[in-house]
Structure 1
């Protein structure tokens, strides 16, 4: 047996192994779009087995891609190759994913195109990571700009506040009414600047295991005087409270402070606030319910919009900030309400990993 023959056999075996063991999904089509062969990675990615699709024309493109597919086929039939194109493809079950594909015409001994090879790689995770990096860079840039603007705005505001305080110290000040209004409006500007800084803050990175129950108890203490003044009863019910979450305490305090503040404003005089903590599977659920004035459906649908507020002195950023903080903690926040009856705020947060083992 000649060495050339042995080398050829080995070469063919290596090609077969490369085809079978490739991490990329490889398939070969004839010119009628029927599958001639495919490798295990193709079966895993698309959900079709070789037995199911051999000799058949299967569709793994959504209808929105048909025009692009037709254009690619025309180029391939003319002998041109396509490399590293980003496309949307479809699995057997109809789910879509982002792929990077390379397609090459296969020629016979007469230099005629007789088949098409199709190599695909799922890049959904890579695109998500790229998007996260772009979002992080955007937030970093926005944070820098907002911090600079906040500094430039607060400096003159501090000076103006000082002059107003000096004016108010004069009992003969004929403009005391107007200077008081000015002081209140400047405080509102400062609050808007503070809220902007909170919105521009990048996603949390440094977190520690903490007890949500302890955070809520500390916030409730801050409202004791307000509860007493408005005749509000606040009840706290907790279950399995020893299970911590991974989070930033200062940010979460702000969440519950904002929500309790809204509840107090909704109740105004005499009412009840009930806070319940429960654990289901790997998630901590917090429900904060008040029997205040509630909201109609139009108002409820608008509370996520920046600068929307039903309060005369509100900035309209409180709920936006609250939702952002919860999202940064990989949690969810939902609000339900019935006008003239009640409002419920549902917060779900994942438990710390150490508590799940």
Structure 2
């Protein structure tokens, strides 16, 4: 760098004529680098060649997270065209003073700058004389209103009496409310819908990290089929309370599935461990009891019937245990679901007749086919019909109806029994849950598991005193 590069700056520097050029160059460079004003030198391409510590401090050049190579890298995109026009004017004027906006990582600076063209080397010297931070424009009330209305979560604003003043469309959708007709609603509706999830401690531990908690009132509420996390933050302003609604339905369902899977895994491990040890001595007991029965007086023969019945019940429990312990479907083949339904009806007809129950099979006329394990699928429908028979006390009817549409194949088992209370419906696929005096709580669990292994699901609808409907659904695969 030579002294001539600084052109008209010589008049501001006290440099003696007796100094040698090399010394003069060094002095000029030192003056430049130690000026109290910010100084940048850039070429005709805009590339920054040199800057002093003051410019670095003003513009955060050393600490910036951006890649800064050109003078325009420091400016907002919308200012680039105007800056280039100014440089064209500089060719004629040689020296100009103007204001520029320089953008740092955190703020914008409006700077008064001198631009000096050094023609010989086609470089421009930029000196920052003065600067001030540009304050962000205040956010208007309209902007805040739009943020409230278009927030991703549901938001409600209530007054000091709990009356809901306004809510956004997300909150209205989650609560199935009309935003314009909430004049008589209060946040007490969340207290009325607050639930205690039937979850064990391990489940609560898994779920809690995903829920919001920061010294605010948080609860899980159920509205129809949705689970909502309700976060109430009082005193958001002097007279208002903000309530945030977050849909955590998928999270709760996922955790319930994980909890159910863990329980089934434990049951399966238990079954695999003890079934063999129990079944062998039980087989021996049944054999000896049958031998003894012929040598005991007729007066005591009834006791043998009770013993054999109880042993049979133990064997049934162990069979259901082993069904849970078995691996996923393995004996797969193309099976005719319609044939399985008809065979199930034939098999259960005698038991239904015994209790004065009419058992019928209905269809849409179209045969249903599925790739799966025939015996395990048959076990599902036997379990469902057996449960329906046990739910009917004094005569009634059970219908098995199979049909299909473009989405899935359906088998519906409908009875006129006593029905299932609403609060019991969600517990039907929990191991060991039963409302029957002699039930094991495993039959339906096994059925749910088998259907899930075949890619299907079981839906249950019931009303106490009006019967129940179990619908087994096998969706078609995309390539079918």
What band does the TM-score fall into relative to the shorter chain? 0.5 to 0.7
Report SS of the residue matched to 1:295: coil
Query: Quick check: 1:288 aligned with 2:413?
Result: yes
CA contact (8 A) 1:331 1:348 kept: yes
Which residue is equivalent to 1:170?
295
Which residue is equivalent to 1:330?
455
- When the two chains are superposed, the root-mean-square deviation of aligned CA atoms in Å is 3.8
Which residue is equivalent to 1:233?
358
Please give the alpha-carbon distance, in whole angstroms, between the structure 2 residues aligned to 1:181 and 1:142. Answer: 28
Query: Quick check: 1:211 aligned with 2:320?
Result: no
Which residue is equivalent to 2:375?
250
Which residue is equivalent to 2:319?
194
Query: Quick check: 1:161 aligned with 2:283?
Result: no
Deviation at 1:150, TM superposition (A): 1.7
CA contact (8 A) 2:459 2:470 kept: yes
Which residue is equivalent to 1:120?
none
Please give the alpha-carbon distance, in whole angstroms, between the structure 1 residues aligned to 2:452 and 2:67. Answer: 45
Report SS of the residue matched to 2:426: helix
Which deviations, in whole Å up to 9, do the C-alpha atoms of 1:123-144 show, x marking residues without a partner?
xxxxxxxxxxxx9xx97x9868
CA contact (8 A) 1:287 1:344 kept: yes
Which residue is equivalent to 1:104?
none
Which residue is equivalent to 1:339?
464
Assess, with a 3 A threshold, how the Cα gap between structure 1 residues 352 and 195 changes in structure 2: closer, same or farther: same
Of 387, 390, 398, which residue of structure 2 is paired with 1:262? 387
Which residue is equivalent to 1:184?
309
CA contact (8 A) 1:308 1:316 kept: yes
Please give the alpha-carbon distance, in whole angstroms, between the structure 1 residues aligned to 2:344 and 2:373. Answer: 15
Deviation at 1:32, TM superposition (A): 7.2
Alignment of 1:109-128 (within 5 A): none
Query: Quick check: 1:316 aligned with 2:316?
Result: no
Deviation at 1:331, TM superposition (A): 0.4
Deviation at 1:198, TM superposition (A): 0.4
Assess, with a 3 A threshold, how the Cα gap between structure 1 residues 288 and 346 changes in structure 2: closer, same or farther: same
Give ranges in structure 2 of 5+ residues lacking alignment: 1-61, 69-104, 107-208, 211-260
Deviation at 1:307, TM superposition (A): 1.7
**TM-score relative to the length of structure 1:** 0.56
Deviation at 1:187, TM superposition (A): 1.7
Please give the alpha-carbon distance, in whole angstroms, between the structure 2 residues aligned to 1:289 and 1:31. Answer: 73
Alignment of 1:10-21 (within 5 A): none
More helix by share: 1
CA contact (8 A) 1:285 1:348 kept: yes
Report SS of the residue matched to 2:435: coil
Deviation at 1:218, TM superposition (A): 0.7
Assess, with a 3 A threshold, how the Cα gap between structure 1 residues 316 and 142 changes in structure 2: closer, same or farther: closer
Give ranges in structure 1 of 5+ residues lacking alignment: 1-29, 37-54, 57-63, 66-134
Deviation at 1:191, TM superposition (A): 1.2
Please give the alpha-carbon distance, in whole angstroms, between the structure 2 residues aligned to 1:156 and 1:332. Answer: 37
Higher RCO (CA-CA < 8 Å; seq separation 6+): 1
Please give the alpha-carbon distance, in whole angstroms, between the structure 2 residues aligned to 1:308 and 1:35. Answer: 64
Deviation at 1:176, TM superposition (A): 4.8
